[in-house]
Amino acid sequence: MTSLKFNILILGFVYLTQTAAQDAQFWNSMAQENLKKNLQKQWNTNIAKNVILFLGDGMGIPTITAARIYKGQQQNETGEESKLVFEEFSELGLIKTYTTDEQVPDSAGTATAFLCGVKTKSGVLGMDDRADYKNCTSSTGAEVDSILRMSKQKGKSVGIVTTARLTHATPAAAYCHSASRSWEGSYNLIQDMVDPLCTDIAYQLVMNNSDIDVLMGGGRRFFLSTNKTDPELNYTSYYQRPDMDLVDEWIRQKQADNASHSYVWNNAGFNAIDPKVTDYVLGLFESSHMQYEYQREKGPSGEPSLAEMTKKAIEILQKNDKGYFLLVEGGRIDHGHHATQAAAALLETVMFDSAVQVAKEMTDTDDTLLVVTADHSHAFMIAGYPSRGNDILGTVDEEVGEDDMPYTTLTYGNGPQQRRNLTGIDTTAFTFRQSGVVPKSSETHAGEDVPVYAQGPMAHLFVGTHEQNYIAHVLAYASCVGPYPGRCDSPLSSVTESSASSVIIPSLLLSISLFLSLL
Ligand SMILES: *[C@@H]1O[C@H](CO)[C@@H](O)[C@H](O)[C@H]1NC(C)=O
Ligand SMILES: *[C@@H]1O[C@H](CO)[C@@H](O)[C@H](O)[C@H]1NC(C)=O
Ligand SMILES: *[C@@H]1O[C@H](CO)[C@@H](O)[C@H](O)[C@H]1NC(C)=O
Ligand SMILES: *[C@@H]1O[C@H](CO)[C@@H](O)[C@H](O)[C@H]1NC(C)=O
Ligand SMILES: *[C@@H]1O[C@H](CO)[C@@H](O)[C@H](O)[C@H]1NC(C)=O
Ligand SMILES: *[C@@H]1O[C@H](CO)[C@@H](O)[C@H](O)[C@H]1NC(C)=O
Ligand SMILES: *[C@@H]1O[C@H](CO)[C@@H](O)[C@H](O)[C@H]1NC(C)=O
């Protein structure tokens, strides 16, 4: 105990000497600027013509804090004072992520909640709790529609961009109804001997959701037929389809509709897309997930970043006068964490943030609601007493564990790597695995609340602690789609000045119309 107290004392002293310029005036004026800004804050009760939902897969609060420090340190700052782009959004709330059957959720149950507005079981996509995991029969009649589908029904353009497979849990909940997130392609249905009544996720994307304007991500293997050689792998993946080729089918549909379209699978194709004259895009940039940023090839045969895909998607979608809904997923933050490769997860988070930056620059807070959230957290920690500015990927400076071995500031509650002597090991490498306490082949999700950041029309509705399915309802209400058309048709919708009553009256009308629709 005394040595701990002594260490704190030493660290306190180091801190004070390093930050001498940050005197009382420094902190007081910073706080006063913040106070002034918040005193001027007004509610934006406009209609959200456009909605962009950014989903950092597995991006819990420890990830956000560590990524902010990482981002600052990449710019040679101490890091702690740095800010991610979305941390400047005007509103913030907390989201409860449990599913109907699990305290700590998976990405399918959570995606169904924030996209379709209802909680369901872990592993289930686009269906309510009546559906049982992997039970095709029980899923009939349990289908629920997503905010993407509702937006399309209102004549908006819609898009999905992700660094994961387009058939992976988060994007899939935007368009499919599947009793299992693992039924990504026909291969998986054959393996699980699924009733032919149920179709796979890639099939549903092309055959039942051909109206989605922009689709970009990985997962090509679930679309290509077994007759084709994957153009990047130069072999046929065993996940490819024996039944049909969904890329050829997508192109055939667009040609039949005389729709301007582009199928691309690398940067050369991606860069050649002219958003002014292209209405439909199918981009399948990898056989499986897209590359981690640290491994991404940026040349013509490589693939675009999440920010580049987001920019192209907005350029295409914004041609629609009725507006658009776009889902942007940073899908590989989660994968870095599962492998306890914190550097990879943090770089993915910073890249996700740069996609938010692009969208923020291209849109107007008057008519576009930007929302940033996570589906769930990870068993990830920032701990020890590292001094100010200590490398976030490094070991805690001037201190070792009771076992006399150095330890990293970033650790995991569980995972594949056990505690070991880190002397002489580069803990900042992208392939370095931080240790986890409980041995697990893959590190797990965590169950604490995740934040939701928002700016633009109705962003203030996120303030507070909410169930995760509430998110889809706010998106629908703000943009007047799905069960909430009323606000836009009412003359009150033109009220834009900031006052409590301008919100209370429409919500009163909403309650009345909801009540009437229940009768
Ligand atoms: C940070 O410092 C390194 C080493 O001095 C330098 O190479 C790099 O360009 C700097 N980065 C920035 C963003 O200033
Ligand atoms: C699947 O769901 C159906 C309908 O709810 C039910 O009758 C059946 O027993 C379930 N099958 C399994 C294997 O649980
Ligand atoms: C999906 O598309 C297939 C083929 O066009 C069709 O048979 C099926 O009924 C569709 N399913 C839904 C739920 O629309
Ligand atoms: C696949 O073939 C192309 C064209 O021949 C070649 O450029 C590429 O390097 C090959 N890729 C792999 C992974 O072998
Ligand atoms: C694959 O090629 C065979 C022989 O040409 C053809 O009969 C079959 O329909 C093709 N399958 C697909 C999925 O394209
Ligand atoms: C297809 O679209 C082009 C360009 O918009 C138009 O010139 C042409 O007439 C259309 N053809 C048909 C068959 O609709
Ligand atoms: C850790 O490794 C270093 C370098 O090999 C060694 O000097 C040190 O004694 C080791 N510490 C422990 C506690 O084993």
Q: pLDDT per residue over 363-405, tens digit each?
A: 999 999 999 999 999 999 999 999 999 999 999 998 999 999 9
Ligand 1 pocket check for 75: Cβ under 6 Å: yes
Pocket test for ligand 2, best of 135, 140, 192, 194 (most atoms within 8 A of CB): 135
Across 189-230, the runs of DSSP E, i.e. the strands, are: 214-218
* DSSP tag of 132: P
Q: Which residue's C-alpha comes closest to atom 5 of ligand 5?
A: 227
Looking at the predicted structure, is the pLDDT value of residue 191 above 60? yes
Residue 326 — very low, low, confident or very high, per pLDDT cuts 50/70/90?
very high
Q: Given CA atoms 121, 124, 125, 126 in this order, what sign does their dihedral have? A: negative
Q: What pLDDT is recorded for position 149?
A: 98
Among residues 462, 455, 510, which one has the least CA distance to residue 487?
Answer: 510
Q: What pLDDT is recorded for position 504?
A: 38
- 402-414 confidence digits (pLDDT tens): 999 999 999 999 9
Q: Which residue's C-alpha comes closest to atom 6 of ligand 5?
A: 227
| Closest ligand by atom to 130 CA | 2
CA distance 235 to 172: 26
Q: Which residue's C-alpha comes closest to atom 12 of ligand 5?
A: 244
Looking at the predicted structure, is the pLDDT value of residue 452 above 70? yes
**Phi, psi values for residue 369, rounded to 5°:** -90, 120
Mean pLDDT, rounded, for 133-142: 92
Lowest-confidence segment of 53-57, 314-318, 498-502 by average pLDDT: 498-502
Looking at the predicted structure, is the pLDDT value of residue 469 above 80? yes
C-alpha angle 264-345-78 in degrees, rounded to nearest 5: 125
C-alpha angle 405-411-413 in degrees, rounded to nearest 5: 115
- Whole-number Å distance, alpha carbon 391 to ligand 1 midpoint, is 14
Among residues 290, 214, 218, 301, which one has the least CA distance to residue 254?
Answer: 214
- Whole-number Å distance, alpha carbon 348 to ligand 5 midpoint, is 39
- Whole-number Å distance, alpha carbon 37 to ligand 4 midpoint, is 55
Share of the chain above pLDDT 70, in %: 90
Mean pLDDT, rounded, for 240-258: 98
Looking at the predicted structure, is the pLDDT value of residue 500 above 90? no
Set 3, 82, 107, 511: catalytic member:
107
Ligand 1 pocket check for 71: Cβ under 6 Å: no
511: burial class by Cβ within 10 Å (0-12, 13-18, 19+)?
Answer: exposed
CA distance 159 to 54: 12
| Closest ligand by atom to 244 CA | 5
Looking at the predicted structure, is the pLDDT value of residue 514 above 60? no
Ligand 3 pocket check for 207: Cβ under 6 Å: yes
Average pLDDT score, the chain = 92
Q: What pLDDT is recorded for position 12?
A: 45
29 is catalytic: no
Q: What pLDDT is recorded for position 517?
A: 41
Domains assigned to the chain: 50-379+444-488 (3.40.720.10)
- Whole-number Å distance, alpha carbon 423 to ligand 7 midpoint, is 6
Task: Quote the pTM value.
Answer: 0.91
Half-sphere exposure of 180 (CA within 13 A, CB side): 20
Looking at the predicted structure, is the pLDDT value of residue 8 above 50? no
Mean pLDDT, rounded, for 295-311: 98
CA distance 347 to 298: 16
| Closest ligand by atom to 137 CA | 2
CA distance 252 to 105: 39
DSSP reduced 3-state for 171:
helix
- Whole-number Å distance, alpha carbon 405 to ligand 7 midpoint, is 7
CA distance 406 to 401: 6
C-alpha distances in Å from residue 107, one per residue of 189, 212, 335, 437:
20, 22, 12, 23
Ligand 5 pocket check for 227: Cβ under 6 Å: yes
CA distance 176 to 139: 12
Mean pLDDT, rounded, for 132-157: 96
Cβ contact 29:21 at 8 Å: no
* DSSP tag of 412: E
Q: What pLDDT is recorded for position 125?
A: 98
Looking at the predicted structure, is the pLDDT value of residue 105 above 80? yes
Residue 20 — very low, low, confident or very high, per pLDDT cuts 50/70/90?
low
